Structure 1
Amino acid sequence: MELVNEIFLPFERERVGNIRLGENRTRDLWFWEPERDGVYSVRTAYKLIVGARMSVDYGDMSEWEREKWLWNRLWKIPVWPRVKLFFWQLCSEALATGANIASQVRGENFLCSLCNSCLESSLHHFKDCWVANWVWEGLGLASEEEEEGGRLRDWVEARWRELGGLEHGKFMVGCWAIWECRNKALFEGREVNPRRVLQRSCDVLDEIASGGYGGKDGRQGVKNKQNEGAGIGRGGKTWRRLR
């Protein structure tokens, strides 16, 4: 105890004195807790370091860490692959919006195909347009006190952190349905109706929740249970080549 009194502070001495000693007098040894056998491994050490970085404040992350944080969560969301691909294009500013086309083609005026009032940028299309705001309100994903403008990537990352895990898929499907409405209005002359966009989002979410995968038209799904015997989907034990 003399050594303890010399090294530790008073409150630390009390804690050390409360440590119970084992009854069997075995020799102490080093044990690496993350591994079951107690043997140190670089693999688990790396996971601990990366996990600590991902758990720190989002604002302290580097640009690379923020991007990895977003993509790792994006690909794990249980939605249609086409929705994931679309959302990746959205986050990468790779959609054929009016603003992106106008940057390559001069002399043209590309207004928003939904409200026909502003230049059609991704940020306006999914954040500032009244159609998008109507859809977010209907899906229960409206954000409080959002200022117009900013960067699309910052807005997506902010919404991603703000929403819960179950709402990420809803957010992705909502963006996808808004973009689908835009394409139908632009290329097919369809009427812009936010109620239809909201209904389309709900239908897709219901189909995904029931285990369906979108067909060619994006409406008809194939249930996992129907494909179990053919080795397709989660219930199948083998993969079969489709002709």
Structure 2
Amino acid sequence: MVKRFFLPFEAETILNIPLSYNLPEDSIIWLGNKWGVFTVRNAYYVALPIVENSEEGECSSGDSRTRLWKKVWQLKLPAKVRIFAWKACMDGLPTKLKLAKRGLNVGAECPLCEKAVESSSHALIYLEILDAGSPNDLETLFVTAWAIWFNRNQVVHESKSSPHSQIWNLARRTQEDYKNAVLFCRAQQQQAPDVGWAAPPPDVYKINVDGATAGIGCRSSVGVVIRDCRGMAVAAVSKVLNGNYGAAVTEAFAVEEGILLAREMELQRIIVESDSCEVVDAINESSCNGEFGMVI
């Protein structure tokens, strides 16, 4: 019926809509994210490219600073320093000049020297040299600039300033601490023992599920295996779904197929194991929003 009255691409979209066995009431969901829940933050990210395109138009050559952004986000520095570096490059730091231009009743003088106007370039450094720097140069530059800005904020908000030697020490210590933390985490991961399949308690059955999705035009599929406390397989099933779904939706269908198989076998005590944290969290929270809410 659907294929008869709709165009092929429309029919495919309609037939790919997951159906619920529980037939819940219709509800309004937010299409801006995969959870179906509206947030102001998500709405901002949805609206931002629309506003930018309407004000500046499309640019065929893209952002001329793309290479610089890649370098910034790949720096081996704490996230707070990388975010600071991005703000500095975008002239987004709340300097006195920036605040004054936005209508705040503040003076534009630098709180440190009290002579020049405090712009980003005055507060930190002229940034046209960034593209020529090596990753290590950029890390040193931005972590030092962050330490300078941190001291500036102490002057503005707490009326205290650190000696120059302490600012250098803060920059160096921040960089060293981050790199040591990364090395420690890698060492911990290498030493961690491999975790294999664990048998369920006596008289409990464990259901392991998995979903697979292929390219456009191919249908998704799911697989289920049920084992007892001795690790013996008592049932298994594989199934090709009616449409092509995303990874999370396919995994939700796999969980559903496992539960239906357990119900068919009249298994009362079960544990369902999935490798999708997103689906597991949605089930534990009984969240029926988002792209796989109808399956949950």
Under a length normalisation based on structure 1, what TM-score does the superposition of the two structures give? 0.49
Of Structure 1 and Structure 2, which has the larger fraction of its residues in helix?
1
Under a length normalisation based on structure 2, what TM-score does the superposition of the two structures give? 0.41
Structure number with greater CO (CA < 8 Å, separation at least 6) is: 2
